[in-house]
Structure 1
């Protein structure tokens, strides 16, 4: 069994989660703000010690939406590591990680997730929760006008009532690196069945 790693850089808070070869997990956050780019590689090198990069079987990263610069830094870092080590890399939607967290806490059939984009717009996505807690995308990540998204929320609330949840993202999301890793591990296990794994070449950040 090899180690796994997840990065979350889409907000001012850096989050890293690692599970070692013995199944032991450690997770930490750092409120770095604009220092994220300068600090990330130093923090990473220290965080994985005493492991080496050759000990990892895959790496995961929050691919956005989120801060343009910090999201790009995280995605580029993950892609570079995956390319150099020839291991799979999984880009996980920031919004999906929030839906996953909500699904663990509540028995909701439908989870709507929103994140502020600017004064007039929000990022939004909608997920259906299956019996085994897998998430099926109903509406992929998209940029909405506030009024348009509010109408969708009202419609889903009316349709699903008690089996519906709305998640409004907070500013600091580093702690969701654990959820990024959980979702990536599900994807890795699925890909193990056919032996074809996600490549760094196909990973793109979500920008709008």
Structure 2
């Protein structure tokens, strides 16, 4: 059973492919390209090359970074994933960019995980997660945009051990594509089978007016 993840919410294109349940022919690979503005012209070619020697019909589910992140890249990734899932008639899991960072970059140990990302006008995107006994994440505070002072005050008042992970403007996050896939598979195991139409990009702020 193969899952494929697409991460286009940063200047990187990150792809991950992994087999689940059938360990006799285990597959686990990921690749990152720093495409920047070339993402729109290069993504489809990179995607077709990456899945070889498998076919689209070998995929059991898809996962995509639904934001927050760059407006154009996030939209392109979500639209591509929605189109593939619709045509293949397979579940599509929209996973928060911040959740993928939390899962991929947090250190092992007790406590909660706070992830923050720069937004426009000095604001911050912030979310807080907690690892479950299975090693995946549950959301404590979902992705929200905060004035920087409000977010820092929330962290300072947190009443549990808290690990904070910061991303910076323009940072590539394609290396968290495998985390997207693992979080999606956790939802699969819980019986969730989201339709492609349920996955929408999360921008947080309007790219022009905010």
- For structure 1, the 5+ residue unaligned runs are none
Q: Per the alignment, in what secondary structure is the counterpart of residue 190 of structure 2?
A: helix
Q: Give the distance between the partners of 2:54 and 2:67, measured in 1 at CA.
A: 28
Q: Give the distance between the partners of 2:110 and 2:39, measured in 1 at CA.
A: 35
Residue 147 in structure 1 maps to residue 149 in structure 2: yes
Instruction: Report the CA distance between 1:37 and its aligned residue.
Output: 0.9
Preserved contact between residue 108 and residue 165 of structure 1 (Cα < 8 Å): no
Preserved contact between residue 30 and residue 178 of structure 2 (Cα < 8 Å): yes
Q: Give the distance between the partners of 2:181 and 2:129, measured in 1 at CA.
A: 18
Q: Give the distance between the partners of 2:110 and 2:102, measured in 1 at CA.
A: 10
Preserved contact between residue 121 and residue 144 of structure 1 (Cα < 8 Å): yes
Alignment of 1:185-204 (within 5 A): 185-191=185-191, 197-204=193-200
Per the alignment, residue 207 of structure 1 pairs with 203
Per the alignment, residue 34 of structure 1 pairs with 37
Instruction: Report the CA distance between 1:119 and its aligned residue.
Output: 4.2
Preserved contact between residue 112 and residue 127 of structure 1 (Cα < 8 Å): yes
Per the alignment, residue 51 of structure 1 pairs with 54
TM-score by length of 1: 0.90
Residue 81 in structure 1 maps to residue 70 in structure 2: no
Preserved contact between residue 109 and residue 130 of structure 1 (Cα < 8 Å): no
Instruction: Report the CA distance between 1:87 and its aligned residue.
Output: 0.4
Residue 167 in structure 1 maps to residue 165 in structure 2: yes
Residue 95 in structure 1 maps to residue 98 in structure 2: yes
Q: List, as ranges, runs of 4+ consecutive aligned residues in structure 1 with deviation greater than 3 Å.
A: none
Per the alignment, residue 10 of structure 2 pairs with 11
Preserved contact between residue 5 and residue 59 of structure 1 (Cα < 8 Å): yes
Question: What is the number of residues matched between the two proteins?
Answer: 198
Instruction: Report the CA distance between 1:169 and its aligned residue.
Output: 1.8
Q: CA RMSD in A?
A: 1.4
Per the alignment, residue 109 of structure 2 pairs with 107
